[in-house]
Amino acid sequence: MAEYTCRLGTPTGEIITRTVEAGAEGELRAKLEREGFRIFSVISTRAEDQPKSRKGDGKLTIKLGDFLLFNQQLSALLRAGLPILQAINILNRRQKNQRLKALLDDVEERIKSGSALSEAFAASGAFPRIYTASILAGERSGSLDEVLMRYVNYTKTITELRRKIRKSLTYPIILVTASIILISVLTTYVIPRFSELYKNFNKGLPVITQVVVGVSESVQANIYWIAPAFIGAVVAFFLWRRTEHGRLTIDRLLLKIPVIGDLIRQSTTAQVSRSLATLLAGGITLLESYEIAYESITNRQLRIYSSGVASGIREGRSFTEVLDEAGWMPDLAIDMIGVGERSGALREMLDEVASFYDAELDVRLTALTTIIEPAILIFMAILVTSILLSIYLPLLQSVSSLGAH
C-alpha cells in the first residue's frame, strides 16, 4: 500500500489535507469522489513517485526574479481574457530559465490531462505552499489574476525585509572578520618578531608588554593543536546546528538575547500576519490560512509555542485568544488583531499589523546598526592600540633612558 497526501474540498466547503493509504492513485481518486470530496491534489509520499527534473539535476530551484516575473506576466494574460492553458503555453515558450521551463512543461501536461492549475502546481512539489494555496483561492473566487498580483506584492515585501536584515548585518560582520584577521596577524607574526628584540633588554618590560608577549608565545607554541581544535570545533558546531536538537537550541538562545529576541518576534509577527492577510483575501478559511501561514515561522521555538493555535481555532475559540495563549506575539499585535476580529475586518487589520511591524523592524535595525558599528570600531581601536602600545612602549622607554645618559 502506498501513502498519498491529499488536498480535498469537503461537501461543506472546507479545504482539508489528509494522508491516506491506497493501492494506486486512480483507485484512491475514485474512492474519494464516491465519498463526496472534491480533489485538488493527490501526491505520493514515496521518493520514487516525486516529480524529477527533466535534466536529472535533483530538486528544482527557481530564481526569485524569474518566478515573480512569470507571475506578473501570467496575471496580465489572465486579465486580458486568455484561457489558463494558453497563457501557460505562451509564457512557457518564451521562458529562458530552464529549471522553471521544466516545471511549466509538467504543469502544462497536467492541465491538459484535466488537473486544475492549483493541483498542477502543487503536484510539482517545487513551489511554496502559500503560492499553491493562493492559486486555489483565486480559482475558487474567480479572481486568479488579482490573487497572483497579491502574491507577487507579498513576496516582494518579504524579500525586501530580508534584504534589509542582510544589509544591516553585512558591515558589522565585515568589521568583526577584519578584527579577527588583524589580531591574528599581530599575535602570530608581528609580536614574535619584537619579542626576540626584547630578550636583549636589560630593563624589565612593562606589564602590558609582558601580557601580550606571553599570550603571543603561548599561541605560537601551541598553534599546531589550537588551529585543528578550532577548525574541528567550528565543523562540529555547524554539524550540530544542522540537527533538529541543535537548531532548536540555537533558536531558543536567540529568543533570550534581549534585542535579537525582540527583532525575531517582530519579524515573525510581520511575516505571519502578511501571509494570513494574503490567504484570507483569496477567500481561504481562517483555519486553513493559519495552517499554511504557520509554515512561514522559521524559529523552531516559536513554532512550538504556536502549535496549539490551529487546534484552538478548530474548537471554535477566538483567534485572538489562542494567539494570546501562544505567548510570543507582541501585545500590541494581539490587541490590533482582536479589534479586527471583533469588527469583521480581520484581513485588513492583519495587513496593518504587518505594515506596522515592518516599519518598526526597519527603525530598530537602523538604530541597532548605528550602535553596533561604532562599538565594533571602538573595540578594534582599543585592542589594536593596546597591542601597538605593548610593542613600542619598551622601545620608547629604551630611547628615553639612552637620552637621559
Task: Give 294's Cβ-side CA count (13 Å radius).
Answer: 19
The predicted model scores a pTM of 0.66
Instruction: Report pLDDT for 57.
Output: 36
Task: Determine which of 149-153, 237-241, 313-317 has the lowest per-residue pLDDT on average.
Answer: 149-153
Rounded to the nearest 5°, which phi and psi values hold at 158?
Answer: -65, -40
Residue among 274, 279, 301, 303 at smallest CA distance from 292: 279
Cell of 220: 605560537
- The string of pLDDT tens digits covering residues 54-92 is 333 334 467 788 888 888 898 888 888 888 888 888 988
What element of type H or E holds 332?
helix 331-343
Distance (Å, rounded) from C-alpha 10 to C-alpha 223? 67
Residue among 363, 361, 366, 369 at smallest CA distance from 264: 361
Position 141 in a domain: no
How many C-beta atoms lie closer than 10 Å to residue 228's C-beta?
10
Cell of 34: 464516491
Is the four-CA dihedral 321, 327, 331, 334 of positive or negative sign?
negative
Distance (Å, rounded) from C-alpha 367 to C-alpha 310? 36
What is the mean pLDDT of the segment spanning 389-395? Answer: 80
Distance (Å, rounded) from C-alpha 237 to C-alpha 232? 8
Position 102 in a domain: yes
Position 330 in a domain: yes
User: Residue 295 — very low, low, confident or very high, per pLDDT cuts 50/70/90?
Assistant: confident
Position 189 in a domain: yes
Same domain assignment for residues 66 and 26: no
User: Mind giving me the DSSP string for 127-138?
Assistant: S-HHHHHHHHHH
Instruction: Report pLDDT for 53.
Output: 37
- The string of pLDDT tens digits covering residues 238-264 is 999 889 899 999 999 999 998 889 989
The segment with the largest mean pLDDT, out of 48-62, 128-142, 181-195, 270-284, is 270-284
Task: Check if the beta carbon of residue 43 is closer than 8 Å to that of residue 4.
Answer: yes
Residue 296 or residue 305, greater confidence: 305
Task: Check if the beta carbon of residue 119 is closer than 8 Å to that of residue 40.
Answer: yes
Same domain assignment for residues 285 and 219: yes
Same domain assignment for residues 270 and 377: yes
Instruction: Report pLDDT for 13.
Output: 65
Same domain assignment for residues 44 and 122: no
Position 401 in a domain: no
Same domain assignment for residues 76 and 183: no
> In b/e form, how buried is each residue of 22-59, taking b as 16+ CB within 10 angstroms?
beeeeebbeebeeeebebbbbbbeeeeeebebeeeeee
Instruction: Report pLDDT for 14.
Output: 67
Position 15 in a domain: yes
For residues 347, 352, 354 and 358, what is the CA-based torsion angle, rounded to 10 degrees? 160
Same domain assignment for residues 249 and 373: yes
Task: Check if the beta carbon of residue 272 is closer than 8 Å to that of residue 293.
Answer: yes
**Strand partners for 42:** 6
Cell of 291: 495552517
User: In the listed set 127, 145, 175, which residue is the last one of a domain according to the structure?
Assistant: 127
**Strand partners for 44:** 4
How many C-beta atoms lie closer than 10 Å to residue 266's C-beta?
20
Same domain assignment for residues 210 and 113: no
Position 403 in a domain: no
Same domain assignment for residues 264 and 176: yes
Same domain assignment for residues 40 and 73: no
Same domain assignment for residues 273 and 328: yes
Task: Check if the beta carbon of residue 354 is closer than 8 Å to that of residue 158.
Answer: no
For residue 108, give the amino acid letter. Answer: E
102 Cβ neighbours under 8 A, 6+ residues apart: 53, 54, 55, 60
Instruction: Report pLDDT for 255.
Output: 92
Instruction: Report pLDDT for 240.
Output: 92
Residue appearing with cell numbers 597591542:
387
**Domain span at 18:** 1-50
Number of domains in the chain: 3
Residue appearing with cell numbers 475514485:
30
Distance (Å, rounded) from C-alpha 92 to C-alpha 102? 9
Task: Give 287's Cβ-side CA count (13 Å radius).
Answer: 14
Is the four-CA dihedral 349, 353, 358, 364 of positive or negative sign?
positive
User: Residue 176 — very low, low, confident or very high, per pLDDT cuts 50/70/90?
Assistant: confident
Task: Check if the beta carbon of residue 96 is closer than 8 Å to that of residue 170.
Answer: no
- The string of pLDDT tens digits covering residues 187-242 is 777 777 777 777 766 566 778 888 888 888 787 778 788 888 989 999 999 999 88
Same domain assignment for residues 86 and 216: no
Indicate if the pLDDT at residue 15 is higher than 70: no
Same domain assignment for residues 68 and 37: no
Position 259 in a domain: yes
**Does residue 38 sit in helix, strand or coil?**
strand
Helix, strand, coil percentages for the chain (3-state, nearest 5): 75, 5, 20
